[in-house]
Chain A
């Protein structure tokens, strides 16, 4: 089955700096890679996703890159703001949706 590893587990950045979270996956059949943001006490919500036929996708301050050969994908948040503080999860989808362990991001004012 799919195994998704996510690093780092915690990330503290100064407001305005960039944050990068990296994930690797094991199943070459996976073809969809979403990223979810979970604020304290709330449900995870999709912030961006990428499909296997695309190498990069950007949505305002958030971007995701995918390297299918190396089986890794990354989330980039630029110009971080206090409201970006949350837990971020990467996931990989073959016939089921498997998640990484999460990254707790803290943006320092």
Chain B
């Protein structure tokens, strides 16, 4: 079954702890993206990667880090430096950076208490 998978679906962490969200795709897509979704603010780009071993900051990268060691994997770490980490996080992938459809994972809802 091909697609893009995020895990876990729900995640709870204590304030001050780092947490890593998983994103895996078996679509052979080069480009991968992380978005944060808050009510009324749409999808805001955190980081994106156009190719293995390369990634760029998006619009709200502060307090987050990523790696792209394998084509199929693009994990996102929410660090203790992120002031308001509670949100819905969506990962997406597409064939390239140009005119192609992006496919989304089912999302991870992170709650920091």
- Size bin of chain B's contact surface: 20 to 34
Q: Confirm or deny: A12 has a beta carbon within 8 angstroms of a beta carbon on chain B.
A: no
- Neighbouring A residues of B44 by C-beta, 8 Å: 99
Question: Closest CB of chain A to B41's CB: distance in Å?
Answer: 6
Query: How distant is the Cα of A34 from the Cα of B94 in the complex, in angstroms?
Result: 13
Q: Confirm or deny: A51 has a beta carbon within 8 angstroms of a beta carbon on chain B.
A: yes
B window 33-67: CB within 8 A of A: 33, 35, 40-45, 48, 50, 56, 58-59
Chain A interface, number of residues (Cβ within 8 angstroms): 23
A residues at B contact (CB < 8 Å): 1, 6, 9, 31-32, 34, 42-46, 49, 51, 89, 93, 95-102
Q: A31-B99, A34-B102, A96-B45 are in contact. List 18 more A-B contacts (CB 8 A).
A: A1-B59, A32-B98, A32-B99, A43-B105, A43-B107, A44-B90, A49-B99, A51-B99, A89-B42, A93-B99, A96-B33, A96-B97, A97-B94, A98-B45, A99-B43, A99-B44, A100-B42, A101-B40
